[in-house]
Amino acid sequence: RKIREHTKILVSIGDCAVTGNVPAMRNSYPLDDVFNRAFQERDGTLLEDMIAPACVMESVQPAPDGTRYEGYDASFSSWKALIDDTTSHFEVEDVHTGDEWALIRWRYVWGPGPDDSVRGVNVMRVVDGKIIEAAGYSKTAPIVAALES
C-alpha cells in the first residue's frame, strides 16, 4: 500500500500482471480436460482462451487429407461447428499428454446403431498453454454436415 501511495506509475510483472497477485485465480484445469469438456458440455466458450492466434488445425475430412484451418478464427469456427452439432457427439476414450503435446483418442457417434460411429484420434501441440497445432485422424469418417463447406 505504501508503494502505491508514493508512486505515480506502477508496473506489475508476473503473477501481479496476470491475476492481481492471486495465482489461485488461474485456470487450474489441464488444457486437455478443458478441451474435452467443451465438447462434452457443448460449450464453445471453453475453447476461447486455449487456441493460439496462429493455430493450424487439420480435420478428418474430406479424405484423404482433411481440411486445413489456419489461424484462431478458422480453428475456433471449425471446432465450434462440431460442438454445436446436436446430431452427433464425441466420447473420449483415452488421453495422453506430454510437455508440449496431447493425444486424445475418441469415438465420434452420429446415430443409435452399432455402425453409427467411428474411432479416431487428435494429436495436438501445445505451447504456453495454447493449442498451436491440431490434427484429427479417423479409421473411416462419415460425412459430417457441420464440416461441409
Compute mean pLDDT per 10 residues along the chain, 149 residues long, and list them. Answer: 52 46 44 84 93 95 90 96 94 91 93 92 92 91 69
Going from the C-alpha of 27 to that of each of 34, 47, 49, 137, the distances in angstroms are 9, 13, 10, 29
pLDDT of the residue at 9: 52
Q: Is 11 exposed, middle or buried (0-12, 13-18, 19+ CB in 10 A)?
A: exposed
In a 3-state reduction of DSSP, which class is residue 134?
A: strand
pLDDT of the residue at 80: 95
Q: What is the pTM of this model?
A: 0.72
Contact 61, 147 (CB under 8 A): yes
